[in-house]
Each structure stands twice: as C-alpha cells, then as structure tokens.
Amino acid sequence: MYKNLILSGGIFHPFAESSRALADILEPLNVRSEIVSDIEQGLTRLARGHYDLLTVNALRWRMRAEKYAPYRRQWSFSLSAAGREAIKRHLQLGRSLLGLHTASICFDDWSEWRHILGGAWQWDRSYHPPQGDIDISINGSDGIVAGAAPFTLCDEIYTDLSLQPDIEVLLVSAPPGQAPAQPLLWKHRYAAGKVIYDALGHDAASIASPAHAAILRRAVQWLLYG
C-alpha cells in the first residue's frame, strides 16, 4: 500500500470534491490517500511519517493584490521554514510530488517552489481564459501518454507560466485563437525525487473524466514505481 498525503483547500475551487475524486481514481493503484486542509499540519505529518507521495491540490499564497483583500484573513498564506524543509526533505529521500492545477500559484514567496514544481504562476503575465471545453494534445511518446488519443475536457488553460528549462512536457493545449500551445502536464526531477505537474483539475469532473483520469493514473505509476 502506497501512502499519499493530499494538501487541499483554498478559494474559488471545489477542492474537497476534487481531492476526493483524486483519491478515488488512485485507489485501484493501491494508493491510500489522506486529505488535509491545514497545510502546515499536513507538512508536519509529512516530516514525521513515511509518505510515498505528496500531492498539492490547493490555492494558498500571500494574496497581495487588492482584489483579494476580502479573502486574506481566511486564506492568505506563507509557508513556514519547517514546511519548506519538509517538502525538500521528502524529495531528497527519493519520494514523489504531484502538483495539480493551482499548485503553480501556491507558496509565492518561496522562490525554490518553482524549481521543485518545474514552473510557477507569474502575477505580471500569467492568466487563464474562462473555464470551458479545451482540446488537449499529446506531446511526445513518453510512457505516461504513449498510445493516448487527444481529448476534450472542460477546464482552464493556464497560460504564460514561468517554466524551468528541464521539464518534459507531455500534454499541451492552445487558448482559443491564440498561439503557442501551453504546457498542461509535465514530468520533472528535483534532487532524488520525481515530480509531475498537471495544470488541469479545476474540479472533480475534470479529474474523473476518463481520459484525464487514465493519464493521471499513469503519471502516479511513474511517480511511485516507474
């Protein structure tokens, strides 16, 4: 049995439902998921226990823009030094990390996070068109996507993220009427650990969609024993 710790929660997204959907689609892989909404408490668990996989399915950052002022008291967040060390140590031990959707926005005052995840949201240029049906293409022949067909999903296309040069992009999609295609899923390594970032997963319906779920399972298989 593999142990997966899911850090979940934040604004504008149904994180409770999407985290449960992820846990459900991973269960056939013999993965038992624990879902926690307190990020620091979860990372304390990570530091004290053995987890094979850490999943970040959350939207927690400093919220400095004035439009987020009504939400700051409940949701503004800066990751502690202990929390940062717990994530780094997890990967240094050869364990794995899965970042979903808004994980690229999290921990915005920790510059190392973009190197760990392979990319990050940039507030002066990153954006996404409204949620809607998007056409997703396979990029390359890596085993995670080998044999998979292009598919359509109701989700968001995160656009103009700041990317690390060594990521291997596996799924792409172009915003309507725009180019170039944006990376939606990539694999990456940090220290001795493996990392997958999936920019999809706005809600449970996206995660449970058969084509997306199949690729997520393959991604987690690579993370755990690929």
Tally of domains in the chain: 1
pLDDT of residue 175: 82
Residue at 168 is within a domain: no
Residue at 31 is within a domain: yes
pLDDT of residue 108: 97
Q: Residue 99: what are its φ and ψ, rounded to 5°?
A: -105, 130
pLDDT of residue 191: 97
Q: Round the CA-based radius of gyration of the chain to a whole number and report it.
A: 16
Helix spans in the chain (H): 15-26, 39-48, 69-75, 81-92, 112-117, 204-208, 210-225
Residue at 174 is within a domain: no
- CATH code for the domain of 63: 3.40.50.880
- Average pLDDT, consecutive stretches of 10 residues, N- to C-terminus, the chain (226 residues): 98 98 98 98 95 98 96 97 98 98 98 98 94 96 97 97 97 85 97 98 98 98 93
- Preceding peptide of 130 cis, ω within 30°: no
pLDDT of residue 226: 77
pLDDT of residue 184: 98
**Domain ranges, residue 88:** 2-124+184-225
Is this prediction's pTM over 0.95? Answer: yes
